Structure 1
């Protein structure tokens, strides 16, 4: 038994400590390489270092933080900046909405000045005969004062504005307005013309749309509903959707 035991002990590997020592040296080398890479703003060299780690450890991304000035860092900064801009714009739009609501109550026109807000921006719907008489597209004399007040509030921000004209379903056929298409178009463009020529509103912020009778907010079943469908929509657009054409039938919660 003693010979067998002695023979077994002779084969024991007394240099196993070298394995642990080699692992330690390797990890220490990796640490120094990481510190060196992070001290440099050369993203290309850093990426090469990460790829070399990938071949050894499986994923350099798990060992190496993004290099200063790398694409990943820049993307994070851009994303954070975009989110901050959206929050700032949202806050400004909410302030404009509150001012418009306060104005409508003070003037006693809250029933004809509906103000809604969603991700696209603010929608100010002017109904009834505040702006135009039935079957006409000329701005009422009292309408100009209302428009000035509304756009003095809108002008506190620089967002684009879209004007949309709508009618009820009553047919119209006159030399000036052969159909509701012409009537809704004339209402929207006459309002824009007044804003540009008299109010001196920046025309590059304006766009126009006309929908005739084909986008009612309620069924044209009675006079009250028709009065709601005869409207002009002033849409203060979020900068996120300024290049899109919002669908006037999509309404937001107040």
Structure 2
């Protein structure tokens, strides 16, 4: 009788996908670590910046706003911008050092004192940079009271108030020592620039009593006239001041109509 056949047993080892050496969990863990890093960076950024700087950063990453209307996120007099960058003057189609000036060419402005419009604009930009440096180097911490920006009319120097350091006495046009110091630096910085200037006074939305004869319109105009007189006392040529006016609270600098920075003097170095 033939020997009984012995059964052959095959053991099949099934290796499940993933397991201890699978890769799917690593991807998920990497995503988690990246998200936590971004979260802690956001927390640090919120703690290390001011409200104006955060507005500038938000505007920078908003694709609908090509140039920040608030600032470049910096804390100095130029708000993080450089007076010599091409982006700084992009609002009116000119760069700080380029030789073409579309607005000046279209207006038909000729040369003045042997300078072309582009050279004249470059001189103003250099003076503005000197003004910002002088403000930053002052001993009285004046940088928070100065903002420099461009407008279609020219370069605008904003002298702004703060809660603790006003430019004028409350409700009237009596100048403070702070305003006199700021205007003295402005006059010294632009002493040899031939451009005309205009001075505009601004107030916040706080108003006088109802039906009062004296309003923010009169107050802003009186404050602009006070700034004109202080500039003249500091040696600025009277012939270069072509306009003095007040806008009351119609052109606020802040979204808050009662913010102290709305109480300011705007000096435009005209093109």
Partner of residue 117, structure 2: 86
Q: Distance in 2 between matches of 1:113 and 1:177?
A: 32
2:158 to 97, 107, 125: 125
Partner of residue 95, structure 1: 126
**Higher helix fraction: Structure 1 or Structure 2?**
1
Structure 2 runs not aligned, ≥5 long: 1-107
Partner of residue 237, structure 2: 202
The answer to whether the 8 A contact 1:177-1:183 is kept is: no
Q: Distance in 1 between matches of 2:213 and 2:223?
A: 11
What is the TM-score when the length of structure 2 is the normalising length?
A: 0.51
Say whether residues 1:230 and 2:245 are aligned partners. Answer: no
User: How many angstroms does 1:98 deviate by?
Assistant: 0.6
The answer to whether the 8 A contact 1:100-1:115 is kept is: no
Partner of residue 223, structure 2: 187
Over aligned residues, Cα RMSD in angstroms?
2.7
Partner of residue 112, structure 1: 145
User: How many angstroms does 1:173 deviate by?
Assistant: 3.9
The answer to whether the 8 A contact 2:183-2:230 is kept is: no
Q: Distance in 2 between matches of 1:167 and 1:187?
A: 9
Structure 1 runs not aligned, ≥5 long: 1-78, 239-254
Q: List structure 1 runs of 4+ shifted beyond 6 angstroms.
A: none
The answer to whether the 8 A contact 2:160-2:261 is kept is: yes
2:248 to 201, 212, 220: 212
Higher relative contact order (CA 8 A, sep 6+): 1
C-alpha distance after superposition, 1:36-93 (max 9, x if no partner)? xxxxxxxxxxxxxxxxxxxxxxxxxxxxxxxxxxxxxxxxxxx9x75x7022112101
The answer to whether the 8 A contact 2:160-2:262 is kept is: yes
Q: Distance in 1 between matches of 2:236 and 2:218?
A: 24
User: How many angstroms does 1:200 deviate by?
Assistant: 3.7
Aligned residues: 155
Partner of residue 159, structure 1: 195
